[in-house]
Structure 1
Amino acid sequence: MKYTPALLAVLATSVAAQQNQTNTILQNLQSLTAQGSAKQYNLSTLIGFAGKINGLTDKLGKNDTNYTVFAPTDAAFATLTKNFPDLVASLGNNTDALGDAINYHIVPNTVFLPSENTNVTKLFVRTADAKNNAIQVNLAKAVTLQFDAAAGQGNATVIDSIRSSNGVIHVVNAVLTQPRPAVDVAKAAGLSQLVAAASTNNDLVSALNNLKENTVFAPTDAAFKAVNEFATQNNINITGNLLTNILKFHVVKGVYFSTDIVKFQTASVATLLDNQNVTVTTSQEDGKPVVNVIGAGQATLKLSAAKVVKPDVLVSGGVVHVIDAVLIPDIAAANSSDPSVPKPADVAGNKNAASATTISRAAVVAAAVAAIFAVAL
């Protein structure tokens, strides 16, 4: 059955004013909006949008699958329209984009209840949008949500929770906007110089803007500055091939949130650079987890591991963890046949081996500029 906005409006005024666990999510959404309801949150905007999305109201009105729905109030949609009128207008003219935006408020096959997760302070739920983008749920006295870091809001509070026969509704005080591409997040952070540098290579920008189930370890601005100084001081010529390889080494296959990483003490994780893994370790300092990441090149050059200094920056298609140093892969493999960067084998037996090794180290570190300017936050 096709639920038009007009029909949904009629249903909303005819459904019983009480919400209960025997009602479906759709019925309880309608009841919450009905005049005289015991709990009235004015969810007519959400219901109207849902009616425009093919098949969505049918799903929420059946008991064959469980869902968790984060339901913004009408006031939340009004705030979004005021702050981001162009975004709202674009959704109104694009049914597919609207569907994806609304699906970001839905967690499929899950009944998420904060009361059943009292042993954790935060967790991540994967939504039903096209990339299964995540929402961070913070569990304290108030249950809060974090989502798009580039949206200018990015936070919502759960006002109330209503159990339903096919899941649960969490009424929230803000519209959840989907995480933006990694480069857009960098722009929002004011990293204009880094973004301008990344924009000189369309392939790098495209790779970051089209993450697909990836984790990015992004060195800080301070790390970028240090690398740039190394490159300048040593007159390093960084070729495009080496830049691409270093960037790939900072992108991991699979999405690993901080809550996943702390579950293992040591793990070797595959990167987008062929046959090259990073090693991720978790330890405790002052009772708090500390996550370090290291590549084979760092071990060879006796460089310290990179520490995660800012975890869980949500981006489209994955997550970014900011680190305080660059990751260096196996030098020979990263250099490939690139003549602009000396290989360790090239300096063997050289009376100036120490000096040559120093230059090689600087070259490898400088090569990581590509990774940093594209993903630093």
Structure 2
Amino acid sequence: MKFSGLIALASAALFGAANAQTTDIVSALVGYTKNNASIITGLAASSPLLSTIKSAKNITLFIPTNDAVAKLPASVLAQLSDQTVVDTVLSYHAVPGISFVPSADADLFVPTALADANLTVSGDGYQVVNVVVSGGKVVLNHGVANGPAKVIDSVVATNGVIHIVDTVLLPPVSVSQTATAAGLTTLVDTLVSAKLASIDSLKEVTIFAPTNAAFNTTLAALKSANVSLNLAQLQATLGIHVVPGVYHSTDLLKLAPVALSIGTYGGENITIEVDTTGVYVAGAGNSVAARVVTADVLVNSGVVHVIDTVLLPSTKLLTSLASNTDGLTVSQLNPVTPAVLGKTFTVPTPSAAAPSPSTTGSAPAPKSAAGRTVTSASLVLGFSAIAAVLFL
């Protein structure tokens, strides 16, 4: 994501000659007066990161205004007296390299300078910020707690670019903290009930998180079909919502028109498919695929995509767990790792070999005539089929 020569291009043509600088990025920051950003500038002055930034060859800094700092929750403001916290936040505002220009529309997931052990399985180990450029406007998506940030001004220095933003970028937090903040309370409660709260310990994952309404529909369907899942079956059901590897929306959109069968922590594959109406995900037991309704909720271990339907495992998997009354641990929910897994997303072609399926197999869910609209009736049919195998 580093573009050679982009600083000169940005200085001359994109940010305007008036903004072009002859000083390094730290001096440009200290001398910036157009929008009051003295709080972050003052905090940066006492940080050991400053010397690293000053000597960097190419770097992008996102600097919040004082008004942006004032919008922070009191609990966060209180922590800014801790130098470790300050360094963490500042690292998340620094991007090694010049990754975008305001004149070119883009949707990028840019690694920041904030290292995180949760992202070191196959990636580079750094938290990302989502940069969306549209119509000359730049919006940054980051941790869920503070809302998106807008770039309101830019300054070019000799060794980088400063973007002034109206919101402090907060680093992504754990899956459970993010789900709570996003209102996915039923998911959190279900993880606790399934003794899978340790999902926060997983590294580099993509999670398809059902909405509260999706869970409520599923619970009603279970009751209607007179189905009761034991602990292991519940854990496996939740497990197929978790995919090893980090797949942002920009990765998933590359799939069209190819469907991808990909391994999960539930012991069998799910199918991901893209068409003109959106991104759809299905477990082997789904009669109708789930639709991604909110994409790219960043967490410290990867990304969460919110879906409108609970993913269902195959009857074969549930049957194999019917006598397991002790449940499973996260470590026992071994993922089936497909060949495409990794930081660099490889788009399969129709003639290419599909990723290795699990022993339980999987199949794409049928598409409904109405854009795969999810109905309670379709879920009941799915659970009735499961009930026929498990309990009749």
TM above 0.5, yes or no, is yes
For residues 209 and 41 of structure 2, the distance between their equivalents in structure 1, rounded to whole angstroms, comes to 39
Distance change >3 Å, CA 335–CA 126, structure 1 → 2:
farther
For residues 357 and 157 of structure 1, the distance between their equivalents in structure 2, rounded to whole angstroms, comes to 44
Distance change >3 Å, CA 174–CA 28, structure 1 → 2:
same
Q: Which residue does the alignment assign to 1:304? A: 288
Select the residue among 231, 242, 254 that pairs with 1:240: 231
Post-superposition offset of 1:170: 0.5
Equivalent pairs, count? 307
Select the residue among 97, 110, 125 that pairs with 1:125: 110
Select the residue among 118, 128, 132 that pairs with 1:134: 128
Post-superposition offset of 1:57: 0.9
Amino acid at match of 2:139: T
Amino acid at match of 1:127: T
Q: Which residue does the alignment assign to 1:284? A: 276
For residues 234 and 340 of structure 1, the distance between their equivalents in structure 2, rounded to whole angstroms, comes to 21
Is it true that 1:143 corresponds to 2:138 in the alignment?
Answer: yes
Select the residue among 213, 219, 227 that pairs with 2:218: 227
Post-superposition offset of 1:364: 9.6
Distance change >3 Å, CA 337–CA 272, structure 1 → 2:
closer
Amino acid at match of 1:295: G
Give SS of 1:159's match. strand
Q: Is the 8 A contact 1:68 1:112 kept in 2?
A: no
Select the residue among 79, 88, 101 that pairs with 2:77: 88
Amino acid at match of 1:231: L
Post-superposition offset of 1:196: 3.8
Give SS of 1:309's match. strand
Select the residue among 27, 44, 50 that pairs with 2:38: 44
Q: Is the 8 A contact 1:253 1:269 kept in 2?
A: no
Select the residue among 327, 336, 340 that pairs with 2:311: 327
Distance change >3 Å, CA 165–CA 269, structure 1 → 2:
farther
Give SS of 1:61's match. helix
Q: Which residue does the alignment assign to 1:170? A: 163
Post-superposition offset of 1:107: 1.6
RMSD: 3.0
Q: Which residue does the alignment assign to 1:255? A: 246
Larger helix share, 1 or 2? 1
1:251-293 deviations in Å (ceiling 9; x for gaps): 112222212211122223332234x3322111124xxxx2111
Q: Which residue does the alignment assign to 2:323? A: 339
Residue ranges of structure 1 left out of the alignment (5+ in a row): 1-17, 34-39, 345-355, 366-377
Q: Is the 8 A contact 2:99 2:110 kept in 1?
A: no
Q: Which residue does the alignment assign to 1:317? A: 301
Give SS of 1:242's match. helix
Amino acid at match of 1:317: S
Distance change >3 Å, CA 128–CA 269, structure 1 → 2:
farther
Q: Is the 8 A contact 2:180 2:188 kept in 1?
A: yes
Residue ranges of structure 2 left out of the alignment (5+ in a row): 1-17, 117-125, 326-359, 361-380
Q: Is the 8 A contact 2:19 2:154 kept in 1?
A: no
Give SS of 2:254's match. coil
Give SS of 2:31's match. helix
Q: Is the 8 A contact 1:111 1:168 kept in 2?
A: no
Is it true that 1:98 corresponds to 2:86 in the alignment?
Answer: yes
Distance change >3 Å, CA 19–CA 314, structure 1 → 2:
same
Amino acid at match of 2:23: N
Q: Is the 8 A contact 1:308 1:322 kept in 2?
A: yes
Give SS of 2:255's match. coil
Using the size of structure 2 for normalisation, the TM-score is 0.69
For residues 363 and 213 of structure 1, the distance between their equivalents in structure 2, rounded to whole angstroms, comes to 37
Q: Which residue does the alignment assign to 2:123? A: none
Amino acid at match of 1:24: D
Q: Which residue does the alignment assign to 1:186? A: 179
Q: Which residue does the alignment assign to 1:37? A: none
Q: Is the 8 A contact 2:290 2:307 kept in 1?
A: yes
Amino acid at match of 2:129: I
Q: Is the 8 A contact 1:210 1:316 kept in 2?
A: no
Give SS of 1:161's match. strand
Q: Is the 8 A contact 2:225 2:383 kept in 1?
A: no
Amino acid at match of 2:174: P
Post-superposition offset of 1:337: 4.2
Pairing 1:181-220 to 2, within 5 Å after superposition: 181-192=174-185, 194-201=187-194, 203-207=195-199, 209-220=200-211
Q: Which residue does the alignment assign to 1:361? A: 386
Amino acid at match of 1:323: I
Select the residue among 69, 72, 84 that pairs with 1:77: 69
Give SS of 1:183's match. helix
Q: Which residue does the alignment assign to 1:295? A: 283
- Name the larger-Rg structure: 1
Post-superposition offset of 1:87: 1.3
1:290-329 deviations in Å (ceiling 9; x for gaps): 211123344xxxx122222222222332222122222233
Using the size of structure 1 for normalisation, the TM-score is 0.71
For residues 259 and 196 of structure 1, the distance between their equivalents in structure 2, rounded to whole angstroms, comes to 30
Q: Is the 8 A contact 1:24 1:60 kept in 2?
A: no
For residues 131 and 389 of structure 2, the distance between their equivalents in structure 1, rounded to whole angstroms, comes to 39
For residues 99 and 216 of structure 2, the distance between their equivalents in structure 1, rounded to whole angstroms, comes to 46
Report sequence identity in percent: 38
Distance change >3 Å, CA 295–CA 158, structure 1 → 2:
same
Post-superposition offset of 1:361: 1.9
Distance change >3 Å, CA 198–CA 268, structure 1 → 2:
closer
